[in-house]
Structure 1
Amino acid sequence: MPKALTVKAIEAFKPSDKRQEIPDGGMPGLYLIIQPKKAGVVKELPPAMSWAIRYRFGGKPKKSTIGPYPAFSLADARQEASKQMRAVSEGRDPAVEKAERKERKVDLVDDAIDDFLKRYVAVNNRPSVLKERTRLFKTEVRPKWGKRSMRSITRLDVITLIDGVAEKAPVMANRLLGLLRKFFSWAVDRDIIEISPMAKKVAPPGLETTRDRILADSELRLVWIASVNLGYPFGPMVRLLILTAQRRSEVGGFQWPELELSGNEQVWVIPRERAKNEREHFVPLTASVLEEIAALPKVKPDEKIEPIFLFTTTGKTPISGYSKAKKALDKEILKLAKKEAEERGEDPGTLPAWEPWTFHDLRRTAASGMARLGVAVHVLEAVLNHKSGSIKGVAAVYNRYDYADEKRQALAAWAELVRSITAERAVAEIP
């Protein structure tokens, strides 16, 4: 029985006058092919080596080429040989399949991306994920690689692309890196390419730390009052972010048909297709939330169609432009802080700066506020619609109790705390 090949042994092989086939005892059917040295060449060059498998199909001996060494390492060659030998055991001829792949049109990166979005992303993800990944490919990948062959993309190409994105948007670069890893892995599974250019790990361009920003009571007060000055649609949206503790995408896309206002148990039903964890979520509506909703204008697409979105400028689509709205809100906060400083007889220019904050920090602030009020962890998770947490395993699958009363009590207590905070004349700070 032939010995299992090692990297050290491969590097030590020398070409001879004849073509050599060295079997790998570590993977039956796999051979390392060493091409003969060229006649008349005085300078000794590294031997030209490649991988192939030999097998029988339909009673006849067959051969299928894997690729050159060291582009295909020993581990890569064994993995590909295992894949091809498995195909043989399943009644498929890898040599024929390889020839068919060459005739397929899914060769350009643009074509492969289209196939990936259609057959993988759209099937396994929510529409919002499909939209974001389509955008990433459109803005960052297609302009640079779109017309290139999938087989031409190298590890250096990936690193260069990621580093370029990281210079302007480090977090986006990390997201793109993960997306490309899935894309090339999918392409290998679909036999579009033999090996991923990311088979050897590409490190993320930067570390991401979990945000833990929580607004102080004085900060929350200023955000609330400034949101009133901001007006519709972002002003009331910010206040609902605070009062409901739900995600920005869920509040920003809030639809009138999601409201159930009959009876004494008014709730907002976030459908599974709009919930981040794809699980329908019931949010009890407190008196403060109902007051905010009652004051909203009902913007219609036209006079014949009922209003769809609580927060919209067109009546046809939910609001967008969160970055611009955040800047406008920060400007209002600054004006408010300076005004209150002057009223206290202080120099507005000496007020300390805020730590940067985001709309998502309002959700974390609400969660922290409810925990501060003594809300149990499992109830808080129910309010936030988190999958993971204190209820796990079989209990999580079979637990049908939605903690409706506890969620209502928690949100009511939080709304009361927000009311008391926003009514105070706390020491103002500027962002």
Structure 2
Amino acid sequence: MKLTFTAIQNAKPRERGYKMFDGEGLYLYVSPAGGKSWRLTYRFQGQQKAITIGPWPMISLADARARGLEMRRQVHDGIDPALEKQLRKFNAMMDRNSNFRTVAEEWLEKREKEGLGDATIAKTRWLLSLIYPVLGKRPIGELGSPELFIALRKIEATGRHETTRRLRSLLGRIFRYAVATGRADRDPASDLRGAFIVPQTKHFAAITTPIEAGNLLRAIETFQGHEITRMALRIAPHVFLRPGELRLAQWADIEFDKAIWQIPAERTKMRRLHKVPLSRQVCDLIEQLYDLTGHAPYLFPSFYTWKRSMSENTINLALRRMGFSADEMTAHGFRAMASTLLNEMGMWHPDAIERQLAHVETNGVRRAYARGEHWNERVKMMQHWSDYLDQLREGGKVVRPVFKRRVSE
């Protein structure tokens, strides 16, 4: 028997929920609490299924019958009403969370969980802050190449060409994430390759000749500043780490018994564990440094508190005090100095030098075949390099200190 308005209105709750059938799979479910909702049973691909249509009286008897009829038509056309309902909910949720800023923050959160470094995260947030005022509230799926071009062109017009290049690349990664999550159909940023001024590559200033390197080393030996800074300057040429890897180094990174300096993956640019074989000279310098800062977690703590590392500008400022301008030498320049002079020696495999610089092969095929770390050669190379630096500084005299401290100490 078909249901009536009066029958529905008079239906009372029972100890257990029950069904009031209207026919063709449509029924009203009455819960023990007295709530009433429309539901439809149907068969799809041989399976018995049920779907909730909605509550009564918000959905009237006539509306419930009309919706039930539409769902039966979907089944006839090979569409599962329950799956279609889930897709509508998902699409509605995506619409609410599909503006550019929401998608960008979601992508950035994912990258943070994947271990992206704090400095890189901060840089990315700064880049996004440049574009949020223009694109932040726009649905990401509606953004096209012309709109991105106009937004980026305004930044380029201020002379920030490298920023524009990096931001275009960042937009591409965010759009590809939006495509993967169903909130955009394509990456419009890819259409903008070659649309902006290519910035001129600016290398870090570095001393790369033996004579100039000798002058630099002698200047370091006579440096009159803070002793911790002087020790950092004395060690830096021998290990040629990136400035951040040097100043953030911790005593726990030093394997005293093996004469190895390990840089954890989270503190390296390439997010790979990096090992530095320590020459006899560096071992001796670390012995001296331990007497100064061995009580602190960092090899090179701040002047103001041993709980923090040395400032990122300390070494560059020291170089300026010694008379080396920013166009002559930088903290990063010790890497270029080592790379240039080691390659000019012709004694070492280029891959050994690259591994010691913690460079990663960009060619995927070559990287797959170049998995060796050239460790034994690097150990010999780092000792030879320290001996060579001594010769540059002392005119041939090679100092051979002994590394005495052990882990047990």
TM-score by length of 2: 0.63
CA distance in 1, matches of 2:166, 2:234: 30
CA distance in 2, matches of 1:209, 1:369: 22
CA distance in 1, matches of 2:362, 2:103: 38
Q: Structure 1 residues 110-119 or 217-226, which shifts more?
A: 217-226
Q: Which of the pair has more CA radius of gyration? A: 2
Deviation string 1:34-71 (CA, Å, 9 cap, x unpaired) is: xxxxxxxxxxxxxxxxxxxxxx9755389xxxxxxxxx
Structure 2: which amino acid aligns with 1:180? L
C-alpha RMSD of matched pairs (Å): 3.9
Aligned mate of 2:107, from 116, 133, 136: 116
Q: Identify if the C-alpha distance between structure 1 residues 175 and 320 changes in structure 2 by more than 3 Å, giving closer, same or farther.
A: farther
Misfit runs of 4+, over 6 Å: none
Q: Identify if the C-alpha distance between structure 1 residues 235 and 154 changes in structure 2 by more than 3 Å, giving closer, same or farther.
A: farther
In the TM superposition, residue 410 of structure 1 has moved relative to its aligned partner by: 1.0
Aligned mate of 1:381, from 340, 346, 354: 354
**1:158 correspondence with 2:151:** no
**1:330 correspondence with 2:320:** yes
Q: Identify if the C-alpha distance between structure 1 residues 413 and 190 changes in structure 2 by more than 3 Å, giving closer, same or farther.
A: same
Corresponding residue number in structure 2 for 1:307? 296
Stretches of structure 2 that go unaligned for 5 or more consecutive residues are 1-72, 396-409
Checking the alignment, whether the CA contact within 8 Å between 2:228 and 2:300 is kept in structure 1 is yes
| Matched-pair identity in % | 18
CA distance in 2, matches of 1:146, 1:249: 33
Aligned mate of 2:177, from 179, 186, 206: 186
Q: Identify if the C-alpha distance between structure 1 residues 179 and 273 changes in structure 2 by more than 3 Å, giving closer, same or farther.
A: same
Corresponding residue number in structure 1 for 2:388? 417
In the TM superposition, residue 309 of structure 1 has moved relative to its aligned partner by: 1.4
In the TM superposition, residue 185 of structure 1 has moved relative to its aligned partner by: 1.9
Corresponding residue number in structure 2 for 1:359? 331
Checking the alignment, whether the CA contact within 8 Å between 1:122 and 1:130 is kept in structure 2 is no
Q: Structure 1 residues 411-420 or 224-233, which shifts more?
A: 224-233
Structure 1: which amino acid aligns with 2:300? F
In the TM superposition, residue 223 of structure 1 has moved relative to its aligned partner by: 3.6
Q: Secondary structure at the match of 2:191?
A: coil
Q: Secondary structure at the match of 1:317?
A: coil
Checking the alignment, whether the CA contact within 8 Å between 2:112 and 2:121 is kept in structure 1 is yes
Checking the alignment, whether the CA contact within 8 Å between 1:270 and 1:280 is kept in structure 2 is yes
CA distance in 1, matches of 2:103, 2:139: 9
In the TM superposition, residue 174 of structure 1 has moved relative to its aligned partner by: 1.9
1:42-53, aligned counterparts within 5 Å?
A: none
In the TM superposition, residue 396 of structure 1 has moved relative to its aligned partner by: 3.8
Corresponding residue number in structure 1 for 2:6? none
Stretches of structure 1 that go unaligned for 5 or more consecutive residues are 1-55, 63-87, 301-305, 335-352, 425-431
CA distance in 1, matches of 2:170, 2:331: 25
TM-score by length of 1: 0.60
Checking the alignment, whether the CA contact within 8 Å between 2:98 and 2:183 is kept in structure 1 is yes
Corresponding residue pairs, total: 312
Checking the alignment, whether the CA contact within 8 Å between 2:296 and 2:306 is kept in structure 1 is yes
Corresponding residue number in structure 2 for 1:206? 198
CA distance in 2, matches of 1:293, 1:198: 49
CA distance in 2, matches of 1:328, 1:181: 40
Deviation string 1:387-430 (CA, Å, 9 cap, x unpaired) is: 43999566545x5xx54442222112111221222346xxxxxx
**1:241 correspondence with 2:233:** no
Q: Identify if the C-alpha distance between structure 1 residues 329 and 143 changes in structure 2 by more than 3 Å, giving closer, same or farther.
A: farther
